[in-house]
Chain A
Amino acid sequence: MRPSPASTALMAMLTVFGGLTAATAARSQPDAAQWSPPKTPWGDPDLQGIYNYGTSTPLERPLALIDQPVLSAEEATALEQNLVETLNQDRRDGGAEADVARNYNELWTDASRTQLTADKRTSLIIDPPDGRLPPRVERPLTAAEEQARLEAELSLKRFTAGFHASYRDADVGNRCIIRRRNEGGGHPYLPALYNNMAQIFQSPGYVVIYAEMIHHARIIPVDGRAHLPDNVETWLGNPVGRWDGDTLVVETTNFLTADDIGRTGVVYGNADPKTFRIIERFTRTGPATLDYVVTLSDPNTWTRPFTIRVPWNQTDEQIYEYQCQELNYDLYFWLHGAREREQRGERFDPDADLDLR
């Protein structure tokens, strides 16, 4: 199976974080000063540019730093230097297993993942104040939900063991339908191992955020129109924007509510698309920076709303064409491989000890 690159990177990062000595937080905030963002010719705040939202700052604050929301300059420098070394995918130490786990080499990965946010935070989550995801709602599952949970678990086991029963054992990202919401797939835009790129275009009445990965042009009307009728459900949601001063505020609704979306779901955290709410705020904070603040909530999934802040930095890189299903060798190799193994008499063992993630 292919190791999950994002979780590998995160594990490495947490290890490094855990090794740091706690020190007094330098509570410097980014200097928003009196910089006034440019306007488009028709008077809207001008957010346009090519951005990278990669960073090594983890989503959740490591428990060892729970009282330290911000690192000192020295700690941050030490950590970044350490990350350059520990995250290097081209290292050849650690044996064959570690080598395979670094299968996405440096050329492939995003260099920004070795840099902390400029404000040296220890978590991207800014609310709750402890920088941690709120606890998930615990309630007894209905019989149908328990059945679905068991089926999902079995599906993940077949995927991990390389015995895909069908294309449906791959998740929505593997199937090139949408990028996984939990891996930086946009709304929320969260840093991932690679491809944290988006370009913002504006025309009168529209802001369009074009994410390179799985070529998604997210067209956000800012002309006061209403959301689509409830029955028009979508994989990527129906965004509607408005201007709050210099900030673009976007609410996205109309997510697919079907039960058979796949293991990773259609919205963040595999939340309930019926009750999930996502409000994003985009604000230019300087000539080359944009502040992205997103608040997520779902009373059926989390015990309280939470807010994530991710800096977007303009880049000289370009956005290129991203091909997914057009070159998706994975599905053929997985499926053809599974059938081939069965031909040879191998069988899926649901009780095998697998590293599921």
Chain B
Amino acid sequence: MATRLGAIKRRLVFQVASILIGTGLLAPQWLPAQTPPAAQNPIPGTFPAYEPARTAESRPDLNGIWQALTTANWDIEAHAAAPGPVAEVLGAWAAQPAGLSIVEGGAIPYQPWALARRQENFATRTSVSVPGDGVDPPLGDPELKCWMPGVPRSMYMPFPLQIVQTPDAILITHEFNGTARIVRMNWEEESPVDDTFFMGWSRGHWDADTLVIDVTGLNSRNWLDRAGNFYSASVHIVERLTLVSPYHLMYEATIEDPAVYTRPWKIRFPLYRRMEEHVQLMEFKCQPFVEELLYGQFTKADTD
């Protein structure tokens, strides 16, 4: 144990030294002649022009396993760290990490009634209703109930997703609850139904090297995050996915819903390519994890 602690300490010292060297606070006297600083890194969040790898059909090759590294699933607007809903049991495990807004301009342009509804959603986020009990709209965060996370939320859940790209259809499949959606390419037919899909009626086309996905047919039960942000069934979402490096896929979505917002608004963040050897989507079937929460209240008492 002592040896191991020693090793950790040594590594920490080395890391601190590296940071100090990196920031110029510690003169690297013991390093070989200083190399001239490389060209300044691009401004964070931007990338120099990139010529993407291409499929046999000459489209940018989006195949791979990707994951967002934002904390938008807690709140897509800027938020401070906060204790989880049962901090007395779960301590730091369930606490909310702080994060910046992924919304262009910072705030969602809610209509006043909708802002009030968002607060209500947040206040009741762990008070779950179940299908059939007549509560409408349903109570509780859909993620907490292991429902399909919806669009665009599925794109920034803290779980990986895999893109399987073919000329006619692109499958986007998510580790969370095995949720997936088919993006039909150059597809004429409008959504056969309104106010129905969690993952939307997704139709794609290429705008130069950007995959554009038009999403309609979404239902009014989706939330955008654990903070209770939401849209209604009249929402129309246009997503834009652009490879900006071999390892980064820029994601942008325009969200338009005249019933809820005062104007269309945008979110933007990069998806990162997962690089571990043999990385794969693991199974996360959450339904067994939520049964007691949802249905334990109906279990027969032992006494009869």
B56 in contact (CB, < 8 A):
yes
Interface residues on A, range: 35 or more
Residues of A within 8 A of B182 (CB): 199, 210, 319
Q: Are B132 and A329 in contact (CB under 8 A)?
A: yes
Q: What 1/0 mask marks residues of chain A from 322 to 343 whose CB sits below 8 Å from any chain B CB?
A: 0101111111110110110010
B41 in contact (CB, < 8 A):
no
Residues of A within 8 A of B199 (CB): 321
Interface residues on B, range: 35 or more
Residues of A within 8 A of B278 (CB): 225
A22 in contact (CB, < 8 A):
no
Name the residue in A165, A216, A217, A339 with the highest tally of chain B Cβ atoms < 10 Å from its Cβ: A217
Name the residue in B162, B221, B294, B295 with the highest tally of chain A Cβ atoms < 10 Å from its Cβ: B295
Residue of B whose beta carbon sits closest to that of A41: B56
Contacts A176-B287, A332-B133 given; does A210 touch B180 at CB 8 Å: yes
Q: Are A41 and B133 in contact (CB under 8 A)?
A: no
Q: Are A326 and B281 in contact (CB under 8 A)?
A: no
A243 in contact (CB, < 8 A):
no
Which residue in B181, B221, B288 is a CB contact (below 8 Å) of A177? B288
Stretch with Cβ within 8 A of A (4 or more), from B16-24, B87-95, B164-172, B205-213: B164-172
Q: Are A203 and B164 in contact (CB under 8 A)?
A: yes
Residues of A within 8 A of B164 (CB): 201-203, 206, 208
A347 in contact (CB, < 8 A):
yes
Q: Are B295 and A166 in contact (CB under 8 A)?
A: yes
A125 in contact (CB, < 8 A):
no
A178 in contact (CB, < 8 A):
yes
Residues of B within 8 A of A339 (CB): 298, 300
Residues of A within 8 A of B130 (CB): 331-332
Q: Are A321 and B166 in contact (CB under 8 A)?
A: no
Which residue in A167, A199, A208, A232 is a CB contact (below 8 Å) of B291? A167
Q: What 1/0 mask marks residues of chain A from 204 to 243 whose CB sits below 8 Å from any chain B CB?
A: 1010101000111101010001000000101110000000
Residues of A within 8 A of B55 (CB): 41
Q: What 1/0 mask marks residues of chain A from 73 to 95 whose CB sits below 8 Å from any chain B CB?
A: 00000000000000000000000
What's the least CB distance linking A202 to chain B, in Å? 7
Residues of B within 8 A of A330 (CB): 132
What's the least CB distance linking A203 to chain B, in Å? 4
Contacts A323-B148, A325-B145, A325-B147 given; does A204 touch B287 at CB 8 Å: no
B246 in contact (CB, < 8 A):
no
B197 in contact (CB, < 8 A):
yes
Give Cα A333 to B196, complex, Å.
22
- Which residues 125-157 of B have a CB within 8 angstroms of A? 130-133, 142, 145-148
Q: What 1/0 mask marks residues of chain B from 277 to 304 whose CB sits below 8 Å from any chain A CB?
A: 0101111010110010011101110001
Give Cα A166 to B131, complex, Å.
16
Residue of A whose beta carbon sits closest to that of B300: A165
Residues of B within 8 A of A215 (CB): 148, 178-180
B198 in contact (CB, < 8 A):
yes
Contacts A48-B166, A208-B173, A329-B132 given; does A235 touch B300 at CB 8 Å: no
A263 in contact (CB, < 8 A):
no
Q: Are B63 and A204 in contact (CB under 8 A)?
A: yes
Give Cα A81 to B171, complex, Å.
38
Give Cα A166 to B285, complex, Å.
20
Contacts A41-B56, A176-B287 given; does A321 touch B198 at CB 8 Å: yes
A175 in contact (CB, < 8 A):
yes
Q: Are B165 and A178 in contact (CB under 8 A)?
A: no
Give Cα A331 to B133, complex, Å.
10
In order of increasing CB-CB distance, the 6 nearest A-B pairs are: A41-B56, A332-B132, A335-B298, A329-B132, A217-B173, A166-B299
Given contacts A234-B283, A236-B285, A332-B131, 10 further A-B contacts (CB under 8 A): A166-B298, A177-B285, A178-B285, A199-B182, A202-B164, A202-B166, A215-B148, A215-B180, A321-B199, A331-B130
Which residues from chain B sit less than 8 Å from chain A, CB to CB?
55-56, 63, 130-133, 142, 145-148, 162, 164-166, 169, 171, 173, 178-182, 196-199, 221, 278, 280-283, 285, 287-288, 291, 294-296, 298-300, 304
